[in-house]
Structure 1
Amino acid sequence: MRLWARSLFVVTLLLVIGAGCSPPSVNRPETPTSLPPTTTPSPSPVWFPPTATFTPIPTRLISPTPTPALALGDLVLSDDFESPGTWQTYRNATGSAAYEQRQLTLAVNAAKGYLTSLRNAPEIGNAYLELSLQPNLCQGQDTFGLLLRAADEFNAYRWVITCQGQMRLERLQSGRNLPLSDWIELSEIQVNPLVETRLAAWLYQDHLRLFVNGFEEINLRDPVFTSGRIGVFARAAGDSALSVSFRRLRIYAINPMLLPTATPTVLVIPTPQR
């Protein structure tokens, strides 16, 4: 009886202890009743946005101004500088004027030296002439060019071109020069040893027109010199050497019958009303 009572006491005690020491409940995550809304990803930044394709503006083609008629007649002279004797040649302390390889070359050696060479014939009055030149050594304000209607090297029209690509026309009288035009920038050419420049002069009475590579650059009138020889010159601006070669001279006559005639202006006087 005591054994049974003791066993019952032990069982009761164990039940009481078990009820007070039950393990803690585990907090389990609740199952969501609905999923959160799907988040739309932000667009990636565009660092270099595309731009509209550039459409170039069509280039406007500018037609050259028509050159007034030259009224050229027969070929009077063709000189390829093959026969020495027609141009002045020499050698002195300033430099030299000499024939070489079908051209006439002026070479200035002295500081600020000035050289000229005149052709002995023909006398040019009304004529159109062409002559090519090419600088071999040239820089800065060094100058070269043609003498037109020259009585001698001190009396002539002097066509001056600089190594920087400028030009003007001067009148030489007793060695003193008078500019007949302003300096002109020659945008169509570059004066350098790799480029040959074609000069042309149209001389008719007191009318003087100068062309460079087919473009008319100077158009003026001066009545002082009516005829004379053709010549070339070269002048150094400093102490550097200067060398220029001239080649292929052509002279044409001018036919007055082919010159355009001016249209007379008719003045209309209205009849007074009565």
Structure 2
Amino acid sequence: MKGWGYALLFTALVVLWAGCVPSITPVAETPTLSPPTATFTPSPVWFPPTATPTPLPTQAISPTPTPALGLGSELLREDFDTPGAWQIYRNPTGSAAYEQNQLTLAVIASKGYLTSLRSTPEIDNAFLDLALQPNLCQGQDAFGLLLRALNEQNAYRWVITCQGQMRLERLQDGRSLPLSEWITLGEVQVNPLVETRLGVWMYQDRLRLFVNGFEELSLRDPVFASGRVGVFARAAGDSALSVSFRRLRIYAIDPALLPTSTPTPSPTLTPGR
């Protein structure tokens, strides 16, 4: 009996102890969230940059004999490194001066006009190739060459404006007679960043004018058969004008290399029946 009592007492204590101890409810583990990985979306480029084209060298007329030009031996090579052959001066209108292997005409007077003639040689049938570059130039300001010049007042004058037009004139006693209409130069850029090459083919009474290798004008005029070469610059208004001339080459023309015209054969007539 006593043993049963102890057993009942032990069981009651166990039940009592279990009711006093708080039950442990398992807590669900909250997962640790890693920060979201950012996905980079590039902004659209509406006007993507384009590669800057490499400027091509200015096209020059090849100084080798060709059927079209009939070039012969070189008569003159001028790099403007030794003063003496060209007129140089300074006056209220401006100046003609050698500087850094070039001859520069600088006009400072309003509507000023400057020229410089080379003392030699006298040119008749020849091809002339000259490089030039405007330094200050705008609008109707003009520059160019004097061809077969007897003096500043009597010569052919090739006029090129700073806005890209040209024409050939004949100067007689200082008076200008246009020999052509104004021509817009489609292959030349007249600005301080671009060197322009002028070519003149003179044979007998025919003159052919080239700009950067492109023939722009061909005509005939019998007045001046020979003379010297010169350059000029003319301001159209109050703004200063400056043009530099460099690398002059003159070649003889060999008549034997010129193409001969092929006579057109007469049509063969069939007798009528």
Same fold, judged at TM 0.5 (above): yes
In the alignment, the residues of structure 2 paired with residue 232 and residue 68 of structure 1 have an alpha-carbon distance, to the nearest angstrom, of 29
One-letter amino acid of the counterpart of residue 218, structure 1: L
What SS does the corresponding residue of 1:237 show, helix, strand or coil? Answer: coil
One-letter amino acid of the counterpart of residue 231, structure 2: V
Aligned to 1:9: none
Q: For 1:1-274, list aligned pairs within 5 A.
A: 69-268=68-267, 270=269, 272-273=271-272
In the alignment, the residues of structure 2 paired with residue 85 and residue 102 of structure 1 have an alpha-carbon distance, to the nearest angstrom, of 13
TM-score by length of 1: 0.74
In the alignment, the residues of structure 2 paired with residue 68 and residue 167 of structure 1 have an alpha-carbon distance, to the nearest angstrom, of 27
In the alignment, the residues of structure 1 paired with residue 131 and residue 90 of structure 2 have an alpha-carbon distance, to the nearest angstrom, of 23
Aligned to 2:61: none
In the alignment, the residues of structure 1 paired with residue 122 and residue 233 of structure 2 have an alpha-carbon distance, to the nearest angstrom, of 22
Q: Is the 8 A contact 2:132 2:196 kept in 1?
A: yes
In the alignment, the residues of structure 2 paired with residue 172 and residue 178 of structure 1 have an alpha-carbon distance, to the nearest angstrom, of 6
In the alignment, the residues of structure 2 paired with residue 69 and residue 121 of structure 1 have an alpha-carbon distance, to the nearest angstrom, of 27
In the alignment, the residues of structure 2 paired with residue 147 and residue 110 of structure 1 have an alpha-carbon distance, to the nearest angstrom, of 21
In the alignment, the residues of structure 1 paired with residue 264 and residue 68 of structure 2 have an alpha-carbon distance, to the nearest angstrom, of 21
How many Å apart are 1:265 and its aligned residue? Answer: 2.5
One-letter amino acid of the counterpart of residue 250, structure 1: R
How many Å apart are 1:272 and its aligned residue? Answer: 4.1
Q: Is the 8 A contact 2:67 2:257 kept in 1?
A: no
What SS does the corresponding residue of 1:210 show, helix, strand or coil? Answer: strand
What SS does the corresponding residue of 1:257 show, helix, strand or coil? Answer: helix
In the alignment, the residues of structure 2 paired with residue 253 and residue 127 of structure 1 have an alpha-carbon distance, to the nearest angstrom, of 5
Aligned to 2:12: none
Q: Is the 8 A contact 2:137 2:162 kept in 1?
A: yes
One-letter amino acid of the counterpart of residue 77, structure 2: S
Deviation sequence 1:201-246 (CA, Å, 0-9, x none):
0000011000000000001111111100000000000011000000
What is the total number of aligned residue pairs between the two structures? 208
How many Å apart are 1:248 and its aligned residue? Answer: 0.2
What SS does the corresponding residue of 1:136 show, helix, strand or coil? Answer: strand
In the alignment, the residues of structure 2 paired with residue 68 and residue 257 of structure 1 have an alpha-carbon distance, to the nearest angstrom, of 10
In the alignment, the residues of structure 2 paired with residue 105 and residue 208 of structure 1 have an alpha-carbon distance, to the nearest angstrom, of 26
What SS does the corresponding residue of 2:122 show, helix, strand or coil? Answer: coil
How many Å apart are 1:188 and its aligned residue? Answer: 1.2
What SS does the corresponding residue of 1:91 show, helix, strand or coil? Answer: strand
Q: Is the 8 A contact 2:67 2:258 kept in 1?
A: no
Change (3 A) 1:221 1:68: farther
One-letter amino acid of the counterpart of residue 147, structure 1: L
> Higher Cα Rg: structure 1 or 2?
1
Aligned to 1:5: none
Deviation sequence 1:46-98 (CA, Å, 0-9, x none):
xxxxxxxxxxxxxxxxxxxxx96100000110000011110000000100000
For structure 1, the 5+ residue unaligned runs are 1-66
How many Å apart are 1:267 and its aligned residue? Answer: 2.3
One-letter amino acid of the counterpart of residue 94, structure 2: G
Kindly report the root-mean-square deviation, in angstroms, between the aligned alpha carbons of the 2 structures. 1.3
